[in-house]
Amino acid sequence: MTLTDGELERYSRQLVMAEWSGAAQRRVALARVVVIGVGALGTPAATYLVGAGVGHVVLVDSDVVELSNLHRQTVHSTDDLGKAKADSAAARLRALNPGVRVEPLRLRVDSDSAPGLFAGASLVVDCSDSFETRYAVNDACCAEGVPLVEAGVLGLGGLVLSIHPGRSACYRCAFPTPPPAGAVPSCREAGVLGPMAGIVGSHQALEALKLVAGVGEPLLDRLLQIEGRDATQTIVSVRRRPDCPACARVAAAA
């Protein structure tokens, strides 16, 4: 697979990096990455993956664009109100990089639909906004042996964790049980400042590119906590649980 002159120029600012390479670029070009949700976190995550030249990006979302989304979901425009988010984001991202296959899927991700979506994928980026969906995504990725980048954002705080099933702690290892109902307000109730979603979703894109290209040190067994209020970041060690119902019996993927 040879990069065209246009691709060389489009990706030149990453190809000049000591940490990147033509081989890394070819690895991302051959990858299929599934992004769950093109909202607050999915906006930067999907945008940077498409920008970086990931060959096939699947955008999964069952929602439509609402006015209250736009302060943080900047992949959509005011003209897109009422449109399916998957379609709205796909149109914008195809315009950003026509060389990438962008596939919108208007679908709700749950424990029934997730396994079929992820089979054979290079990586999944979970940009959903509920614990229920995160557990379903985590369990399906563990079952299929697909690497995953998990994250959450709320108010002025955020979390990011990369997961290599069978090799590093999964989301259930880090958070064995969901918080009791009402303990954590949903995004809708608590609100979120747009740039916080930008920071956390950008971290997800960075993790995804590192994992797919095989560069750098991904956040495996390390939970990144980002506090926007005082601009601090903390790394918390997490470990695989030998009795984890999702990943304990998963053999390490190659």
Partner 1 sequence: MSAELDLSGVLCPMTWVRTRLALEDLAPGERLEVRLDPGEPLESVPRSAREDGHEVSEHGAIVSILKR
CA dist., res. 92 & res. 244, Å (int) = 40
Among 6, 19, 23, 98, binds partner 1 (CB under 8 A): 23
Q: Which residues pair with 60 in a beta bridge?
A: 36, 105
Q: Is 10 in the site for partner 1 (CB under 8 A)?
A: no
Among 1, 4, 18, 183, binds partner 1 (CB under 8 A): 18
Residues numbered 104 to 143 that lie near partner 1 (CB under 8 A) are none
Token pair belonging to 29: 């070009």
Q: Which residues pair with 153 in a beta bridge?
A: 158
Q: How many residues does the chain have?
A: 254
The span of 15-23, 28-36, 58-66, 123-131 binding partner 1 (CB under 8 A) equals 15-23
Burial class of residue 26, CB neighbours in 10 A (0-12, 13-18, 19+): middle
Among 1, 4, 13, 120, binds partner 1 (CB under 8 A): 13
Q: Is 51 in the site for partner 1 (CB under 8 A)?
A: no
Q: Is 22 in the site for partner 1 (CB under 8 A)?
A: yes
Shortest spacing between CB 151 and partner 1, in angstroms: 31
Q: Is 12 in the site for partner 1 (CB under 8 A)?
A: yes
Q: How many CB atoms lie within 10 A of CB 238?
A: 20
In sequence order, what DSSP letters do the residues of 57-90 get, joined into one string? EEEE---B--GGGTTT-TTS-GGGTTSBHHHHHH
Shortest spacing between CB 44 and partner 1, in angstroms: 24
As annotated, the active-site residues are 187
CA dist., res. 225 & res. 160, Å (int) = 7
Q: Is 3 in the site for partner 1 (CB under 8 A)?
A: yes
| Residue pair 86/64 in contact by the 8 Å Cβ criterion | no
Q: Is 99 in the site for partner 1 (CB under 8 A)?
A: no
In the complex, the residues that contact partner 1 under the rule CB under 8 A are: 3, 8-9, 12-13, 15-16, 18, 21-23
